[in-house]
Chains A and B, each alone.
Chain A
Amino acid sequence: NAGVMQNPRHLVRRRGQEARLRCSPMKGHSHVYWYRQLPEEGLKFMVYLQKENIIDESGMPKERFSAEFPKEGPSILRIQQVVRGDSAAYFCASSLSGHPGDTQYFGPGTRLTVL
């Protein structure tokens, strides 16, 4: 049973370009979470999605960032017009259901570097 998959593992973008990060949850999981880890910091929640729905986006920056989890295909975190401060590791997690006690399983992360 494959774990949470994220791609690409490393992404380099120049300032002003767009970054697209993909996350395929574990098989059977329909709940996805995105977290960001800035250098020398802990993980920070960004957004929680179910299939075709954004449940909680309280951690998303107001501009340039968006997320989706379509009926078919992976969840996408999209960052438009990237800036140097967006350089971070972006982790995706998935859970079987949205039950509060459900464990969140993490992917290996995408390391975004903005030049």
Chain B
Amino acid sequence: DQQVKQNSPSLSVQEGRISILNCDYTNSMFDYFLWYKKYPAEGPTFLISISSIKDKNEDGRFTVFLNKSAKHLSLHIVPSQPGDSAVYFCAARVNAGNNRKLIWGLGTSLAVNP
């Protein structure tokens, strides 16, 4: 049962344009959402997060939008750069007791073409 879904396995974007990566979730108990970026043979690198009490968080070229009613979030990267080419993972967490585990999507591979 995939609680966090990234339905697009891959995305190709031209340099300078906007990249939009999508993520859907099923568990209404999730209270915190994160985006990680991963290069081959490396560990995930934290990018940006958003609490469930917000609908937008921005950090430089990265903006995450959360639509709780639709159980949907998206990561916008603008302008996209070739160095952004990587696999992007959406992750979510339930804030309950000692629970700190992150539930991950399968990732979207982004290719930014020069």
User: Which residues of A approach B to under 8 Å, CB–CB?
Assistant: 4, 6, 31, 33, 35, 41-45, 48, 55-56, 58-59, 91, 93, 95, 98, 100-101, 103-109
Contact = CB atoms under 8 A, between A and B. Distances in A.
Q: How large is the interface on B (under 10, 10 to 19, 20 to 34, 35 or more residues)?
A: 20 to 34
Given A56-B100, A59-B101, A103-B49, 13 more contacts: A35-B102, A35-B104, A42-B89, A42-B104, A42-B106, A43-B104, A45-B102, A48-B98, A100-B93, A100-B95, A101-B51, A104-B46, A105-B46
A31 B100 contact: yes
Interface stretch (B37-45, B57-65, B78-86): B37-45
Given A43-B44, A43-B89, A56 B101 contact: yes
Interface of B: 4, 31-32, 34, 36, 41-46, 49, 51, 89, 91, 93, 95, 98-107
B46 A43 contact: no
Contacts of A55: 98, 100
